[in-house]
Structure 1
Amino acid sequence: MRLGSPGLLFLLFSSLRADTQEKEVRAMVGSDVELSCACPEGSRFDLNDVYVYWQTSESKTVVTYHIPQNSSLENVDSRYRNRALMSPAGMLRGDFSLRLFNVTPQDEQKFHCLVLSQSLGFQEVLSVEVTLHVAANFSVPVVSAPHSPSQDELTFTCTSINGYPRPNVYWINKTDNSLLDQALQNDTVFLNMRGLYDVVSVLRIARTPSVNIGCCIENVLLQQNLTVGSQTGKVPAPAC
């Protein structure tokens, strides 16, 4: 096997995990994000000497790589082809960061960057693991007007779509802003065709002469709460 072959690099990469830096970054679905992997400022590298490799930490999916005098990226997984790039000019300065375009929910995982020096006997120069957290804003909840399946009960439905990660759903008594017992609600949360979450929550409460109910969709990652009342249409209210 040639020293410059992708196969050797993959083998070396799989066995080198010591002294790995750990970082975290957050990105919105559809945006571009940079996964940082860089040596101290002032570093200089010869691109004919360094081997750079990015892969996912758990599944070992090949994201992108740099091999001296080998421009082929045939081993890159199809999910990352033309979406994951490194800057040659940046690599000369020791910046091996990955630019990932058009982030999807499936990109939420750990990525590993490894830099090796051929002149040093394929010694590890840099190893960084970056955890990518992905988020998407939920739509403003839509709360249905109450209807009465029986004389003693009122039913409300709250719907919100296209968010990420999985939401928390709360129903609120807006008279005193207290949370209603979650045993009164039935939540259906599922992934849609875009890989984002849709949620439908049904609340059943005892009939009362005056009702002022709110539905809150919480996105923990974005620290975001969207609240809509049964009497306020689609206008967001203060956070729950």
Structure 2
Amino acid sequence: SRLGENVTLSCIYNERALQLKNLRVYWQIADDPPPGRCLVVHALISGQDNNSNQCINFKDRTKLFWDRLENGDFSLLLLNVSQRDNHTYKCVVQEKTEITRVIHQAEVVLSLAASYSQPVLSGPIRNSTGEEVTFSCRSGNGYPMPKVYWINRANNSHLNPSKLDIHHNSDGTFSVFSTLTVTATSNMQIECFIENEMLQENLSANYTQQKQSNGSGTESDEKKGRGAQAVGIISLVILIGLLTVLICWLWRRRSSKLLSYTDVLPREDQGELNSPA
């Protein structure tokens, strides 16, 4: 079961019909406990719940399926499971007629798990072929302990981590931090894996950086960026020049119209424009 979920512990007796008033059903922890440790998970006596001796950590967290009891299904619903519920549980069914005898027993092993968060992989921003570079990978809130491994996808080779720290959190889950130091190549394709075997989950994060023979891919990108910037500046200068030419042309045209108008005014005063043709 995943942490925080509800789980059903199975206990089924289907050989014949039963009367609840004649039954006693006990659910208890079957692990080898230290002396004095509470073992009672749930109890049903003469068709009624009786949890006077129930362990405190199971209080209000256990339920039987009442509509199934007379059919021999004594399975127990355990709510909101956590790491402390990771036990072997035993179901004991007794029938009281003339004498009290055990008619059925079952054991259930509860294994708990929690998914790890999506790994976060960090790598060098820029590097040069032949230099040592370090990658880091982190993930958390999972259970049980994970397997962590690194792969170079360029040739599918496994890489040994430089450092692996697994921290046990206060809520019982684990967090993992791993680093990898390798020599940079012309084609960096590093992948980090966090594997939870119990849930059959395998989460990964990858880092890929293409690099050219005369320098890193980052340097090539910077050159492209500078080239694009230069093209933009040149385009802006050309645009400003064109606008300047257009403004000068419009100004000269306007000035020529003003000169023509001032030349017409004296002629109007002399009556030249009012004479018939």
**Is TM more than 0.5 here?**
yes
Which residue in 2 is equivalent to 1:97? 75
1:39 equivalent to 2:13? Answer: yes
1:225/1:107 Cα in 2 relative to 1: closer, same or farther (>3 Å)? same
Tell me if the contact between 2:61 and 2:80 (Cα under 8 Å) persists in the aligned partners. yes
Q: Which moved more, 1:59-68 or 1:44-53?
A: 59-68
Which whole-Å CA distance do the structure 1 matches of 2:62 and 2:4 have between them? Answer: 14
Q: Secondary structure at the match of 2:21?
A: coil
Offset of residue 161 of structure 1:
0.9
Which residue in 1 is equivalent to 2:59? 81
Offset of residue 31 of structure 1:
1.3
Tell me if the contact between 2:121 and 2:192 (Cα under 8 Å) persists in the aligned partners. yes
CA deviations 1:33-60 (Å, max 9, x no partner) are: 111101127x322222111111111136
Q: Secondary structure at the match of 1:230?
A: strand
Tell me if the contact between 1:147 and 1:154 (Cα under 8 Å) persists in the aligned partners. no
Tell me if the contact between 1:147 and 1:155 (Cα under 8 Å) persists in the aligned partners. no
1:69/1:210 Cα in 2 relative to 1: closer, same or farther (>3 Å)? closer
Amino acid at match of 1:190: H
Q: Which moved more, 1:129-138 or 1:59-68?
A: 59-68
Which whole-Å CA distance do the structure 1 matches of 2:48 and 2:92 have between them? Answer: 17
Q: Considering fraction of residues, name the structure with more helix.
A: 2
1:165 equivalent to 2:139? Answer: no
1:193 equivalent to 2:193? Answer: no
1:71/1:85 Cα in 2 relative to 1: closer, same or farther (>3 Å)? closer
RMSD over aligned Cα atoms:
2.2
Which residue in 1 is equivalent to 2:203? 226
Any stretches of 5+ residues in structure 2 without a counterpart?
210-277
CA deviations 1:112-156 (Å, max 9, x no partner) are: 1000112252211110000112121111100012379xx942211
Any stretches of 5+ residues in structure 1 without a counterpart?
1-26, 233-240
> Which of 61, 86, 97 in structure 2 is aligned with 1:119?
97
Q: Secondary structure at the match of 1:88?
A: coil
Amino acid at match of 2:2: M
> Which of 19, 25, 30 in structure 2 is aligned with 1:52?
25
Which is higher, the Rg of structure 1 or of structure 2? Answer: 2
Equivalenced residues, count: 201
- Tell me the percent identity: 35
Q: Secondary structure at the match of 2:81?
A: coil
Which whole-Å CA distance do the structure 1 matches of 2:40 and 2:164 have between them? Answer: 37
Which whole-Å CA distance do the structure 2 matches of 1:200 and 1:152 have between them? Answer: 23
Moved over 3 A (4+): 69-72, 207-210
Tell me if the contact between 2:14 and 2:71 (Cα under 8 Å) persists in the aligned partners. no
Q: Considering fraction of residues, name the structure with more strand.
A: 1
Tell me if the contact between 2:12 and 2:72 (Cα under 8 Å) persists in the aligned partners. yes
Provide the TM-score with structure 1 as the length reference: 0.76
Q: Secondary structure at the match of 2:25?
A: strand
**Which protein has greater RCO, CA pairs closer than 8 Å, 6+ apart?**
1
